[in-house]
Chain A
Amino acid sequence: MSKEPARPIEHAGLDALLHGYLPTQGVYDEMIDARGQIRPHWLAFVERLAAEGPNGLSARFEAADRYLKDSGVFYRVYDDPAAGERPWPLSHVPLLISPEDWKVIEAGVIQRAELIEAILADCYGPRELVKRNLIPAAAVAGSPDYLRPLVDAARSGQRHLYFYAIDLGRSPTGQWWVIRDRTQAPSGAGYALENRVAISRAVSDIYRTFDVERLAPFFDRLRAELAVVTEADDAGVCLLSPGPLNETYFEHTYLARYLGIRLVEGMDLMVQGGAVYLRTIRGLRKVRVLLRRIDGDFADPLELNSRSQLGVPGLVQAVREGQVTIANSLGAGFAEGRALLGFLPALAEPLLGQSLKLPNVATWWCGQPAERRVVLDNLADFVIAPAFSRMNGGPNVGPWVMSEASHAAHEQMREAIGRRGIDYVGQEVVKLSTTPVWSNGRLEPHPFIFRVYVGATANGLTVMPGGFALIGDKSDLRAVSMQKGARSADVWVMSKGPVEQVTLMPPEKQVVLRRAADALPSRAADNLFWLARYVERAEATLRLVRALVWRISERREQNRPDMHGIAELLFRWGAAGAIPAHGELVRMAQAAISDQQLDGAVPCLVRAGRRAASVIRDRFPADAWRTLDDLDRYVQRSIKGPIAEGVIYEKADRALRSIAAVTGFQLETMNRLAGWRFLKLGLRIERAIAICRFTRQFAGGDASVGKGSTPEELDLLLELCDVQATYRARYRLGASFAPVLDLVILDDRNPRSLVFQIKSIQEHAEALPLLPPSNRPTPALAVANRLLGTVTALDPGRIRSDDILGIENSLMQLSDEIAQSFFRAREPVAR
């Protein structure tokens, strides 16, 4: 007599959950077997989902989405607002992999990594495989990622693959297949981490119940490996990114933070005497390891693609000199070509003495007569795809499913393959397996590709137990149609035994501690400085706009000196095209706050600030970034409806509050920011310049300040310097010359006074690093000292307009000196 399982409630839930879950006939489903039974490693998990009920599940999954949104993952990566937010949005139900399957996959991908390593070593070294007729020369030479300057360049034994990804699919028989190899600079590991964090939070109790292999140890091992090759005084390991315009830039910042390494771009680096250096505010620091996220061909404009603006001139020479390790090696992308897939199975034996554990998609390279004949004789059975990772120069085309192609397309294809079979491979049509996806309150089977990551450590290759599943559209089970519109799901590798509970949270403190002692890259300092200047300038412009529209709406007469002064200032700052005729001041205010073309108008200033911040996102507080991003979106939005002072006032006022929040976040989190001194210097210099300009405009007569200024102008000066309240509390009289000037220029207890700014500038300048090689202070310090002397010696009753102009000029000089000493002011120009 068998015991009935005592789960009546769950069963009811199970039926509801799985109702309508109908895997396609003849396709392997990950959750349900051919007899309709739940596979053992899914059972407990599915029961837990069922127990939640549809509403409970929806609520949990929404929480996961919120987490991703809040952590900034959803923020758009291109400046184009229409561009995608994230390459692969999250699909909530994880893919569960049984321990048995995982054993097969793990052994298979490690073997494959070794095989590809051996092929790379041969093709960039002795080239025996070609000589022995195991690979045709054209199957190697045809790859645009076979980088000839790297042939014989590396020291023998130097590894090529440090980080490698494989796209797997499962055939109807249950066999795992390799669909593509990713050897250039595989992306997605960072997204896998985020997916895990999001899902494990949303269903933390469920996640904890199951023995799911943790991802953290994989990254810990990589981190340990990187630490080994770093020496004390170096810049250490750097992640070389193409920059914020790249679609996976978010992942670069995320991984750099997580691994505790620096995020750099080509412009940060230079090659000298065959070694690679990072330019920092303390001089050059040697770089020994570069985790490369730019394509190999773009890495060196001197010897590789001369059009590249992303690379480091001389990098290939540094590789030749053995002074830098690049992971993956330059040229490793060549192994991504589909042409190679046709030869890999036959190469395992001679290179490894083993047969291939994981098969790849059956592939015929059409450059060889026999293979070409196989493909052409049965063209309709094949998918035809480009033989190499990308078509040189041309658009990325194919693959073509020939069974769906027209007669004319068949003829065209035959002709093309007949002429240049070297450009094409024929591949078997691969059907993928399906895995459950939460959709409209129930589960549906969707096809997927499982991306697995392999990393190299001193103790050999290690596989990330997880990865991510690219989930495709429900209706199309073919591997070829997986690219567009895919979502990603977390992958849970189920452990046989209990797993150790390791946190996945980045060791933030550790990272910050290292950062604090770091020498800040010059470009980061440059961007922090200019970020502050742009934001501060936007603030000053907004104050002018707000003051102007308020006066327009308050007064009948528009031709007053204070209003005219604002118009002049806006014009001179480039915030308005021309000083308008009377009565059109409101148009000018509108231009200053909403014109997208004018360099000095608020949208351009905020956009410039955002761009500077985007470059240093790895060292910029997430909250400040988000506030700045919101502000940017807000000011880029055009004002709807007819022009009205009230609307402009409201917009300026709201933008000013946003800026206060950005500045507030920066102050709050200041200590977390290496280089905050540059941020503060930028802010103080810009503010001091604004005070000077306001003063000259509204309290500057021909010879001496204050002569001929109207009370309205002095009052405006107080407003622009944000000290009206202080003034009124102190002097119970209308705005008059000497007290106003004292408060605006000389009162060192007023945080918006000129002297306050200059004192602060002087303190920061004193704390700046000494300049190599002779450890002299930056010339900016001398300028700051002189400025402080000048300002404190001023007599409020006798300040001349020329004095203020002199101070303003010194402030500009100070800014130049800082740039000269610490930033790379010049951009490389390829010619």
Chain B
Amino acid sequence: MIYAIRQITAYSYGSYVPYAAHVLRLVPVAGPSLNVIECDLVIDPKPSEYVVGKDFFGNSLAHVVLKSPHSRLSVESRAVVELLEGPAVTPEGTPPWEDVRAAAHTSARLDPRSPAHQLFPTRHVPISPELLAYGVDLFVPGRPVLEAAIALMTRIRQDFEYDPSATSVSTPTVEALGLRRGVCQDFAHIMIGVLRSLGLPAGYVSGYLRTVPLPGKARLQGADAMHAWVSVWCGEEAGWQDLDPTNAVRAGRDHVPLAFGRDYADVSPIDGVIFHSGSHSLAVSVDVVER
């Protein structure tokens, strides 16, 4: 499956910004399930400093400094990628969730894909009694970890309403849990929070959904913007399995991953510091077309 992706992120500021420093995480990185055929990043106005590198988790990271006054900033990222099919993992075949937890807690790996990084509270995902209570009954003793995680995903899809007006980037995860409303980012954070509160490793994936659904399939929620889903560690053998609680599906041929981290803060597409006191507005457009 080959996709052409185009994302335009455009800021416009109420007054001139004399200086800005940004980091961009907008370029996909090749991995076991992703082949990057071509990619390109166009920044307007042209930055005075531009340094590319990778972050700890292996995501691409571009440092950008704009030193001349500007009243708008647009970043266009384009990529052509090929999604590769991984080995099929059946939920019933994964180890009991308690074994996976024990393996994660005693892991001797500190590489970027170690489950050890995904066990602890992070900026957007706390460990909390509320999160634990929301999912604990699904994790009966001995239940295969992926089966239980899928049950949790399904519950979130059933209980929550997709409602962009209910939450913002800064809405605390526990608050979104109480609202039973939100967007993909909230659902992913909630699901990660439940899993981590149980002691299980779960990470955050940002990426894209195909814009036009396959024939006969419904259009997926979140296809017109960047999307987010959850990666659950299912033991050394099965590794990371991606689940999309917004659509209650396992991430497969429709999900193109862009970045992996502990929560939104690790993969936020554009972070920055601008010297500016006025207001700004933001427009994002995303196109994901099959080739």
Question: Which residues of A line the B interface, CB within 8 A?
Answer: 123, 127, 130-133, 136-138, 140-142, 144, 148-149, 151, 271-274, 301-303, 305-307, 313-314, 317, 320, 367-369, 391-394, 419-423, 826-831
Contacts and interface: CB of A to CB of B under 8 A. Distances in A.
Interface stretch (B109-117, B176-184, B234-242, B250-258): B109-117
Contacts of A133: 108
Contacts of B142: none
B90 interface: no
Contact of B271 (A127, A137, A302, A421): A302
B107 A136 contact: yes
B102 A141 contact: no
B165 interface: no
Given A149-B56, A313-B21, A140 B276 contact: no
A828 B274 contact: yes
Contacts of B21: 271, 302, 313-314
B46 interface: no
13 contacts: A132-B108, A137-B110, A141-B110, A302-B21, A302-B271, A367-B106, A392-B121, A393-B126, A394-B126, A394-B127, A422-B120, A828-B275, A829-B276
A138 B55 contact: no
Q: Which of A419, A420, A828 has the most CB of B within 10 A?
A: A420
A828 B55 CA distance: 24
B272 interface: yes
A130 to B, nearest CB: 4
A364 B235 CA distance: 25
Interface in B96-138: 102, 104-111, 114, 116-117, 119-123, 126-127, 132
Given A142-B120, A367-B106, 8 more contacts: A123-B110, A131-B108, A136-B108, A302-B271, A303-B55, A306-B271, A392-B121, A829-B273
Contacts, number: 130
A137 B273 contact: no
B121 A140 contact: no
Contacts of B126: 392-394
Given A302-B23, A306-B265, A419-B198, A140 B274 contact: no
A138 B117 CA distance: 7
Given A829-B274, A830-B273, A392 B122 contact: yes
A830 to B, nearest CB: 6
B280 interface: yes
A420 B199 contact: yes
A137 B120 contact: no
Contacts of B106: 136, 138, 367-369
A435 B132 CA distance: 47
B185 to A, nearest CB: 15
A130 B63 contact: no
A826 B276 CA distance: 7
A317 B61 CA distance: 11
B271 A826 contact: no
A306 B268 contact: yes
Interface of B: 18, 21-23, 49, 51, 53, 55-57, 63, 65, 102, 104-111, 114, 116-117, 119-123, 126-127, 132, 197-199, 265, 268, 271-277, 280
B177 to A, nearest CB: 15
B102 A369 contact: yes
Contact of B123 (A137, A149, A393): A393
A302 B51 contact: no
List of 3 A-B pairs having minimum Cβ-Cβ separation, nearest first? A148-B56, A137-B116, A392-B121
B110 A127 contact: yes
Contacts of B104: 138
A273 B49 contact: yes
A142 B119 contact: yes
Contacts of B109: 130-131, 137
Given A141-B114, A306-B268, A367 B274 contact: no
Nearest to A307: B123
A137 B23 contact: no
Contacts of B22: 302
Given A138-B116, A149-B56, A828 B277 contact: no
Contact of B119 (A130, A141, A303): A141
Contacts of B277: 826-827, 829
B137 to A, nearest CB: 14
A406 to B, nearest CB: 18
Given A137-B114, A137-B116, A313 B122 contact: no
In this complex, which of A136, A141, A320 has the most chain B Cβ atoms within 10 angstroms of its Cβ? A141
B62 to A, nearest CB: 11
B244 to A, nearest CB: 25
A149 to B, nearest CB: 6
For B22, B63, B110, B265, the residue with the greatest tally of chain A CB atoms inside 10 Å of its CB is B110
B273 A313 contact: yes
A422 B23 contact: no
B199 A422 contact: yes
A830 B277 CA distance: 10
Nearest to A306: B271
Contacts of A151: 56
Given A141-B110, A419-B199, A420-B199, A301 B119 contact: no
A826 B133 CA distance: 47
A196 to B, nearest CB: 41
Contact of A136 (B105, B198, B272): B105
Nearest to B124: A393
Contacts of A136: 105-108, 116
A610 B117 CA distance: 45
Given A302-B21, A420-B127, A393 B121 contact: yes
Given A141-B116, A141-B119, A421-B105, A302 B56 contact: no
B123 A305 contact: yes
Contact of A828 (B49, B122, B271, B273): B273
Contacts of B111: 127
Nearest to B21: A313
B56 A391 contact: no
